[in-house]
Structure formats: structure tokens, C-alpha cells
Amino acid sequence: MLAAPVLLLLLVPFSPSSAAQLPNPGQAKVALVATNGQPFPWDRMRLPKTVSPFHYDLSLHPNLTTLDFTGVVRIQLDVHEDTRAIVLHAKQMQVSNVWLLAPEGVRPLRVLEYPRFHQLALLSDSVLTKGRRYEVQLEFAANLSDSFHGFYKSSYRSSSGEVRVLASTQFEATFARAAFPCFDEPAFKANFTIQIIREPRHIAISNMPMVKTVALPGGLLEDHFDTSVKMSTYLVAYIVSDFLSVSKTTQHGVKISIYAVAEKIDQTAFALDAAVKLLDFYDDYFDIPYPLPKQDLAAIPDFQSGAMENWGLTTYRETGLLFDPDKSSASDKLGITKVIAHELAHQWFGNLVTMEWWNDLWLNEGFAKFMEYISLDITYPELQVDDFFLGKCFDAMEVDSLSSSHPVSTDVENPTQIQEMFDDVSYDKGACILNMLRDFLTPEAFEIGIIRYLKRYSYQNTVNSHLWESLTDVSDVCRMKHKEFCSQRSKWYPGDELDVRAIMDTWTLQEGFPLVTVEVRGREVRLSQERYLKTDDHSLTEGFLWQIPLTYMTSASKTTHRFLLKTKTGVLHLPEEADWVKFNVDMSGYYMVHYAGDGWNSLIKLLQHNHTALSSNDRASLIHNVFQLVSTGKVRLDTALELSLYLSRETEIMAVTQGFGELVPLYKLMEKRDMAALENQMKNYIVDLFRGLIDRQEWTDSGSVSERVLRSYLLLFSCVRNYAPCVTKASQLFDSWRDSDGTVSLPVDITMAVFVIGARTPEGWDFLFEEYRRSLQMSVKSRMKSAMTVSPLQDKLKWMMEQSLHGEVMKTQDLPGVVVSVSKNPRGYKLAWDFLRANWPTLIKKFDLGSSTISHLVTEVTNQYSTREMLDEVRSFFGSLTEESGSEMRCIRQTYETIEENIRWMDTNRPLLQCRTKINVLHIGY
């Protein structure tokens, strides 16, 4: 699953019914009591392993008029231990007529319910015998969910104004149980045979192709789908809708279809071609044929996350799939291709081979995120995807630098804890440590290892160690067949046996990441490692040790040197003395570097006089590291600002955006403190720093993808910051566009800058909203919506949030993005915070407690506060919550930490900032 996209407002830096939260019960101290008052025969959150399903026959009848559904499920079971009770999941549904279909005959089963664990117990009068197979049948009924999970209602408005309803599924992580009784844990894999009853005006699609349609009394139709491969319940999917589709066939014979509402089907061509190309790539790369005959991609009008990898039927937000070549931007093309690459990678990582339990979610999501970049680098080189990977690592480090972070592999039990695993650590850190491992092993050896992993564990469930064993085995392959691929090994660990698990356990089983301090003394380089942590409590950094694949280069050699640091300290010797040493080449490693002694000064001089001697990623990593080290007191702010001066000559997107990413938050803190003079001083410094690059931007759609994305970023920033040439040009373009009643074609890449300027007046805002309401182009609507949240008109900002909550004109799926964007607006941050508090019960019911959506809302709305007064206000609100309403969520602890760090940072650096930004403005362009 891909998390919901954040509204990318480029004035903001690159950064990063309700299910009650349940305790970790372990072994309950008292017997649990079912709803009828009888003892419940199981006392744990996780299901017993006495029985397991191997096949489901599932028949469903959703009614899109009454917005409910009925169904029958027959589950074939293997019995592993003698038992009288079958315990499985069901949530908020009426279950009736439960039967045991045994060799001895059919007999009813008694049913007990324990809603707190979403569990049913089916009780038999006689023992179910170990080693035998049985079948149970349950009838059930429920309402279509009005949230975004389970079997839920979605709707859209046609161009004629008619509201049309459809029903779709979203079962990851623990919501299949809300659609049909099942064993809703990833290790309980089974085959599924599905039938769906529908009206003739609708179609039904599911994981597998339809094999026949049967006419039923009353004019209804029943679609029968082929039996699925063995899979987990969270991957089951079905949709009943009036969608249209377009199709193509891959070189390997797989039928690819894109489904969307009729009026948007003409926006599917790009996604269809991308899906064909990418599925063929994965088929060849993994050396394992895609096992299903078809792969559908469906654009759902209401969808909480970014996309979902259901086997054979991946589902997406409309913005994640629909592309208009005349009105979508370079950034849209990049985003759509990445999300398709992510979900199709899951067909192997996650679907074919699935984590045993949600503690190892990263085995699914880290790999899918990583494969986005591997696949697109080869299949779509023109997208220049490498220019964007490093930002994922910086996003992960932002969360991972807090004491409230968690290991990549973390124990979880209840649904809220499971939901919290869908965060930057599982996705982005997972991808970044895989990238580090790939660099360590060599790309060729890494590929051999992951193919071995996939083939060895196909249709099974895995844990961390299974992956490390498959990659360690590569050392045998190196010796026997691929010596030319693996010669690099000796540079890392001469004479040692390769033990991937010993290395990678240090990266997956402990939270955080290392800071490597480097001190060069002649040819001797002294190394030490510690946990990087944004805190003044140094006891929290003790006891951490990583095995770190260090890479470095020097002024004396362009060769990348390698050293595996396994200990707290170490020493390495350079072949010859050098003017400078740069560690973590291209930032392929997930660690930060502090250059002690004269190290930072030597690198600053290099950037000042010959910055292209280092790669763009190396320059971005230096910018990131030096500013992050200010937070821990390792580096003075004036050193970081001095390094930033070189940015006046920077042109590459990763380094430029990282410069913004470190500098913009400084004045965003000041906006919340009413420090107008210092705030404007900092804003002027940033504009002056990038003035040359901004002035060189053309108001067109020319150039490479990275150049076009950078243009959008720079022009938007400069307009938001009231840079006069930008405001004048954008105003002219907006007036011309409005005078034409929206018919004049604007260059796509500059529309955000134009819309933002237009939305500053009530008349301009209203015109923009009307165009938003009429448009069928999802990417255009997204940019308009984003621009409207930047308006200084507070009444409009408040109205937008309220409208998004109601979901009539602005979709409720977009509410979190709207609220977050308003919170970054200096005229709207208090409105966003008040809205969050006032609507908290509704938000956690709609978006689910612990979800990445709720976590993102909490952290992003509050992460720019830097006063004791706001910290007290935040603590007061979240402290008033109960466990059931979210008081134990990790994101709340992260919020407290972030605000406390902001307060410390401002108290420490405000005097220096007042002095240095005045001085540095005079030195830009030295």
C-alpha cells in the first residue's frame, strides 16, 4: 500500500466506525466474556493456530441503493490440534446460520462474539480431530462502510450533476474482517473463489478473471470469478461499479486493464502503457512469471491511501492513475509512474512472498518503495528518478532522529499499532537500508539474492532472517559463478565470511541511525559512531552500535573507498594526504557524518570554489548533515549558513531542494512566534540566495523532468515570497486566463505559481474554485486546491476545511491534505489547529486510529510550533484523550518531541541567526 500523497505546496520544505485502540493482552489475567455473558474460549489478540483455512467460497450481494450487503462464506479448514472451538475474525456484522459441514454430516455451531478483539468463536459439541479437514458455513450482513476501509461506499458526480454510487474494498491491514468472517492475519493464506451478485447496470471485478455470469430471479446477475492463488485476506479485493475499461496485453501474455469512471476513461492511456511496461520489467527482473492471467488497475473516486496492491486488482486514487498529457505536469507523470511501479512490485514482494506478521511490514513496503526507483531507472530513464530517491532517506531520518521512533521491525499486536507501522520508517528507511545493502553487496549480487528469496518462499510467509539468509547465500554464488560481479567484496571485508544478518540486524532491530564522526590527521582518519538523536538527554544515545558500510572519497582520488565499521571507534589510513575527505559517497548509506577538526571548513572551501567536484547527492547530503548537526550542538549555525552560501551557484534539483528544505523551516518557526523582522530577514536571505536561479527560469514546459519539477518549485516559492518579477508575471498570466473564462492554455509547470497569486483576492479565489468544481482533470484540480489553501483569506481557508469534511464539493479523502496545507499558511495555522481539535472524533472515525493519515495530520499541523505556550496547548488537548480516542499513538509523542526540539533550537540560535543572516546576504555571490 502506498500512503496518501501529501499536497506538495512548494512554499513548504520537503520533509516529512472507529476501531478502538486495544491493549497488548498477552495472556489475559481474567477469562474474557462474550457478548452473551458466556466465557469466550480464547484470550489473546492473535488467533490460535489450532485450525487454518485453505479455501474460501465467498458469495456477496451488495445493494448500492440501500448501501448494505449480505453474503455467505464457506471456509475449508485444516485442523492441527484437537479442538472444539474455531476462532476467527468478524467486525461489526450480523452473523447467522453457522454450520459445520463434516464427513459425519451437517450440524449447527454455537457462536460467541468478543467485539473488542473482533473475534468470533464457533463452538462444536464434538471434537474436531487433528489431521482432518472440515468446512464451516456462515451467513452474514452489514452496512457498506462510510469510511475508507472494509467494503465501503464511494461516489462521484457526473458532468450532468448525477451522483453515482459504487462499492469498493480496502482490506489492509485488518479490515477484511469487516467484509466477511475470515482468519484475518497475513500468515493464514488460502485460495478464494468469489461470486458477486449485481444489477445489470453495474459491473463487478475481483482479483481473478470472471469465468461466467448467471442470471438470477428478479433481473439480477451473479458473476463467478476464477479461484485465486494462495494469498492473505488483506489482498482480497472486489469492486461493483459502472466503470469503463481499456486493456492491453503484455509481452508475457498478461491482460492489463485500467478501470475508471466513464468521463475520465480518456485519461488512462499513460497508466495503461506504464503498467504493461513495468509488469514486463518485473517479470524479467525477478525471473518469476507473474502468476495471474490479468492485472487490473482501478481509479477509485474515494480512496484514503495512495494505492493498494490487491493481487490482480490494484486500486488507486484518481490522482495516482489518471493523466492528461495536455494538463498534467512532469511531476504528475513522475508520481503516477512511481505509484504504479510500487504496486506492481508488491505483486512479488508482499503478495507472492508475504511477511509472517505486521512487525515485518517493511519486507513489503520497504522493498516496494525501493523497487520504484530500481524499475523506473531502467524503464523510464527520462524521468530521472535518481534525482528524487535521496529525499526519501531525509524524510525517514526526520522521524528516525526522535527518541519516539521505532525499529524497522517492531513488535505490534493490536490494529492501531499495526496501522502505525505504515510510516516513513517502514517505507522510506526500509528502502534506504536496502539501497545501502545493494551498494554493499553490488547490484548484481543483490539481485541474485532477492530472486533466490522470492523463489524459495513463493506463496509463503517470511521473517527478516529469511531475507538475510538468501542474501548471505550469494557468497557461494560469487565463488562458483559470478566472480566478476562480486570482486568488490574484498574491499569491504577482506578475509571475513559474509554475514548479512549480523550487519542488517543492527539496522532493522534497533531504532535510529548512526552519526559517524570523522577526524583527519594527516593520512590517519579516526572514526567513531553514536546514535544521532535530537534531544538534550544524552543517556538516550547510549548502547547503540551499527555495522556501517562506510564509503569515502578524497581530493587525491576519485575512487570510492570502502570500510566496514563494526566497532564504536576505528582508524583507517589514506593512501596519501588530502585537502578534503567526503564520507558516505552519494549518500548511499543511511547515516550522517560530522567532520571534526577542520573537516567542515575544508568542505566549505571546496563548495565555494569548485562545488561540481562533488556529485549533486554528495552536495545535498552535506547540506542536510550540517544543518541537522546544528540541532545537536555539534556544529554552529554560522558554519551551516556559511556552507549554504555556495547555493547561489547551485542548479541541481536535489541540492537546491535540500537547501530549501533546511532553510525554509527556520522562518516557518518564526511565523508562529510573531517575529516579523527576523522572519523577513530570513525570507530575504533565501530569495537572494536563489535569485539568479529563479531569474533564469522560463515560464514554459521545456526541459527535462528534473528541470521542470525544479522550475515549478522555484517559481511557486518566489511568488509566495512576493518576489516582484514573479508576482508581476503570474498576475498577468492569471488575469489573461480568467479573462478567457479559463480557456487560455497555461504552461502546466507554472500553473501553481499562477493560481497562488490569483487566489489572493476574493474574486480570484472564487473564480479558481468554480474552475476546480467544473474540472474533470484530477491533476489540475489538485493544483487548484493546493493554491487555494495558500490564500491569505482566512474565511476561505476555514470554508475549505469545512467543505472537505462534508465531502460534497471537495472530497473528504483530500481533507487531511487541505488541513495540513492550511496549517503551513501563516494566516491559517491557528485555524488548522482549531479545526483538528474540534473535529477529532470525526477524523479518527473516518480515517481510522493509528493510520498514516491521522499520524500525518497530527505531526504536520503541529511541527512548526516553537513556544512553551503552544506546547502546553498541544499537551492539554492530546492529554485529554482516552486510550480509545488515541492518547497512546506514537505520533503524539513525536509531536511533543518535535515542539520541544523547536523551542531548544530557537532559544539557542535566535541571537546568532539575527546577526548572521544580515551578514550573509551581503556575501551571496562572492
Instruction: Please answer whether residues 546 and 506 qualify as being in contact, where contact means their C-beta atoms are separated by less than 8 angstroms.
Output: yes
**3-class DSSP assignment, residue 313:** strand
What residues have CB less than 8 Å from 910, skipping those under 6 apart?
678
What is the Cα–Cα distance from 124 to 611, expressed in whole angstroms?
Answer: 75
- Find residue 400's DSSP bridge partners: none
Instruction: Please answer whether residues 174 and 277 qualify as being in contact, where contact means their C-beta atoms are separated by less than 8 angstroms.
Output: no
Instruction: Please answer whether residues 214 and 221 qualify as being in contact, where contact means their C-beta atoms are separated by less than 8 angstroms.
Output: yes
Provide the phi-psi class of 67: left if phi over 0, else alpha when psi is between -120 and 50, else beta: left
Catalytic residue among 343, 652, 662, 771: 343
φ and ψ at 334, to 5 degrees? Answer: -60, -45
What is the Cα–Cα distance from 423 to 420, expressed in whole angstroms?
Answer: 7
Read off the amino acid at residue 259. Answer: Y
Alpha carbon of 290 to those of 69, 346, 749: distances in Å?
A: 32, 11, 37
> Secondary structure of 628-640 in the HEC alphabet?
HHHHCCCCCHHHH
Residue 856 annotated as binding site: no
Active site residue 382: no
The runs of H, that is alpha helices, within 304-461 are 330-346, 362-379, 386-400, 415-420, 424, 430-441, 443-456
Residue 342 annotated as binding site: yes
**Strands across the sheet with 581-583, in order?**
557-565, 548-554, 581-583
Give the helix/strand (H/E) hosting 61.
Answer: strand 51-63
Q: Residue 838 CB: number of other CB atoms within 10 A?
A: 11
Kindly state the greatest CA–CA separation across the chain. Answer: 91
Cell of 368: 516496494
Q: Helix-strand-coil percent breakdown of the chain, rounded to 5?
A: 45, 20, 35
Residue 263 annotated as binding site: no
What is the Cα–Cα distance from 447 to 444, expressed in whole angstroms?
Answer: 5
Cis check: omega of the bond before 431, within 30 degrees of 0: no
What is the Cα–Cα distance from 61 to 68, expressed in whole angstroms?
Answer: 9
Cell of 247: 486493456
**Residue ranges at the known binding site for Zn(2+):** 342, 346, 365
Residues marked as binding? Answer: 342, 346, 365
Catalytic residues: 343
